Amino acid sequence: MPLTRLIIKNYKSIKDCDISLSDLNVLIGGNGTGKTNLLDAISYFYRNLTETNPSNMVFDENNHYSNELRITLVYDLSEFVKISKSNSEDTLDIFEDQPEKKTKYGGYYKAIIAMASQSKDKKIRVELSQIKGRTIHWNCSYEDRLIFKSLFPMFYVDTRNLDITEWGYVWDVLGELAKVSNSERKIIEDNLSDILLDESKAVSRKLKVITEIFSAADVSVKPAISREFAKNLTKLYFSGDIIRQKGKQLGYYSTGTNSVKYIELLLKSIDAISKAKMKEPIVLFDEPEVSLHANYLDELADAMMDVGSKLSILASTHSARLAKNIITESETVALFNVKLINQYTHVQKMKKFLQYSPSSKYRVLDDHINSYFSRAILFVEGETELELFANPYLRILFPALKKVDVFKALSDKPILNIMNPSLANIQTPYLCLIDMDKAINYNRGSKKFSLKGEYFQSDLKECFQYRSKHQTETYLYHQRERINAMAEKLHVHYYLPFLSCEDTNYRAFISVIQEYLLAYNVFVLSTTVEGMLINTQTLDFALLFLKQKKKEPDYNAFKVYWEGLPKTDRLNAMRIVYNGKTDLLIAWKTLSKSLLPDSDRAVVEKAMIGDKTSGWVSEYLDAFFQQTIKCEGKITEKLFRKYLDDEDHKKAVLKEFEKNFSELHSLISRICAMIYE
Phi, psi of 648 (to 5 degrees): -65, -40
User: Please, which residues bridge with residue 71 across strands?
Assistant: 8, 128
Residue type at 346?
H
Question: Comparing 78-87, 495-504, 586-595, which segment has the lowest mean pLDDT?
Answer: 586-595
Q: What percent of the chain has pLDDT over 90?
A: 42
Phi, psi of 201 (to 5 degrees): -105, 145
Domain identity same for 157 and 238: no
Domain boundary among 194, 222, 242: 242
Structural domain includes residue 300: yes
Q: E strands within 452-591? A: 522-524
The model's confidence at residue 89, banded by pLDDT at 50, 70 and 90, is low
The model's confidence at residue 357, banded by pLDDT at 50, 70 and 90, is very low
Q: How far is CA 144 from CA 82, 98, 137, 400, 551, in A?
A: 18, 25, 14, 53, 86
Residues 146, 159: Cα–Cα separation, whole Å: 28
282 near 247, Cβ under 8 Å? no
pLDDT of residue 359: 45
93 near 84, Cβ under 8 Å? no
Distance of CA 520 to the CA centre of its chain: 22
pLDDT of residue 654: 96
User: Please, which residues bridge with residue 334 across strands?
Assistant: 25
Structural domain includes residue 38: yes
Eight-class DSSP state of 672 = H
Burial 367-400 (b: 16+ CB within 10 A, else e): ebbbbbbbbbbbbbbeebbbbbbebebbebbbeb
Domain identity same for 144 and 238: no
Domain identity same for 26 and 103: no
Structural domain includes residue 426: no
Higher pLDDT, 131 or 263: 131
Residues 382, 363: Cα–Cα separation, whole Å: 18
- Positive or negative torsion for Cα 59, 61, 66, 71: negative
Lay out the sheet containing 3-11: strands in order across.
14-20, 3-11, 68-76, 123-131, 136-138
Structural domain includes residue 185: yes
Residues 374, 604: Cα–Cα separation, whole Å: 42
Round to the nearest angstrom and report the end-to-end CA distance of the chain: 38
Domain identity same for 15 and 162: yes
Residues 663, 164: Cα–Cα separation, whole Å: 55
Domain identity same for 53 and 71: yes
Residues 486, 185: Cα–Cα separation, whole Å: 88
Peptide linkage before 153 cis (omega within 30 of 0): no
The model's confidence at residue 567, banded by pLDDT at 50, 70 and 90, is confident
453-464: pLDDT as tens digits = 888 876 555 544
Residues 582, 660: Cα–Cα separation, whole Å: 19
581 near 531, Cβ under 8 Å? yes
Domain boundary among 329, 357, 373: 329
CATH number of the domain that residue 285 is part of: 3.40.50.300
Domain identity same for 459 and 549: yes
Question: Comparing 34-43, 61-70, 612-621, 654-663, which segment has the lowest mean pLDDT?
Answer: 612-621
Structural domain includes residue 381: no
Mean pLDDT: which of 166-170, 315-319, 466-470 is highest? 315-319
The model's confidence at residue 92, banded by pLDDT at 50, 70 and 90, is very low
Domain identity same for 492 and 562: yes
137 near 130, Cβ under 8 Å? yes
Closest C-alpha to 585, from 492, 484, 498, 455: 498
Q: E strands within 201-311? A: 244-245, 248-249, 282-286
Q: E strands within 437-526? A: 440-443, 448-451, 522-524
Given a cut of 80, whether residue 308 has pLDDT beyond it is no
Residues 177, 170: Cα–Cα separation, whole Å: 11
Residues 307, 315: Cα–Cα separation, whole Å: 14
Residue type at 34?
G
322 near 288, Cβ under 8 Å? yes
601-641: pLDDT as tens digits = 899 999 998 776 678 999 999 999 999 987 777 889 999 99
Residues 572, 498: Cα–Cα separation, whole Å: 6
Domain identity same for 471 and 545: yes
510-554: pLDDT as tens digits = 999 999 999 889 999 999 999 999 999 999 999 999 999 999 999
Residues 426, 414: Cα–Cα separation, whole Å: 17
Structural domain includes residue 210: yes
Residue type at 620?
Y
Residues 554, 536: Cα–Cα separation, whole Å: 23
Given a cut of 70, whether residue 100 has pLDDT beyond it is no
Structurally, how many domains does the chain consist of? 4
Residues 644, 396: Cα–Cα separation, whole Å: 9
Domain identity same for 158 and 180: no
Give the helix ranges, DSSP H, for 578-646: 598-607, 616-629, 637-644
Higher pLDDT, 178 or 24: 24
The model's confidence at residue 366, banded by pLDDT at 50, 70 and 90, is low
Closest C-alpha to 82, from 112, 47, 44: 112
Residues 273, 173: Cα–Cα separation, whole Å: 9
Question: Comparing 76-80, 173-177, 318-322, which segment has the lowest mean pLDDT?
Answer: 173-177
Structural domain includes residue 462: yes
112 φψ region: left (φ > 0), alpha (ψ -120 to 50), beta (else):
alpha
Domain identity same for 447 and 582: yes
Give the pairing of strands 244-245 and 248-249.
antiparallel
Phi, psi of 69 (to 5 degrees): -125, 155
Given a cut of 90, whether residue 369 has pLDDT beyond it is no
- Contacts of residue 199, defined as CB under 8 A and 6 or more positions apart, other chains included, come to 205
Distance of CA 83 to the CA centre of its chain: 39
178 near 233, Cβ under 8 Å? yes
Can you give the residue range of the structural domain that contains 193? Answer: 176-242
- What mean pLDDT value characterizes the chain? 83
Domain identity same for 307 and 456: no
Residue type at 541?
F
Domain identity same for 87 and 103: yes
Structural domain includes residue 467: yes
Domain boundary among 614, 639, 666: 614
Residues 611, 375: Cα–Cα separation, whole Å: 32
Given a cut of 50, whether residue 645 has pLDDT beyond it is yes
For helices 320-329 and 294-305, the axis angle rounded to 10 degrees is 40
412-444: pLDDT as tens digits = 666 676 677 777 777 888 999 999 999 999 988
- Contacts of residue 497, defined as CB under 8 A and 6 or more positions apart, other chains included, come to 569, 591, 595, 596
Burial 88-113 (b: 16+ CB within 10 A, else e): beebeeebeeeeebbeebbebbeebb
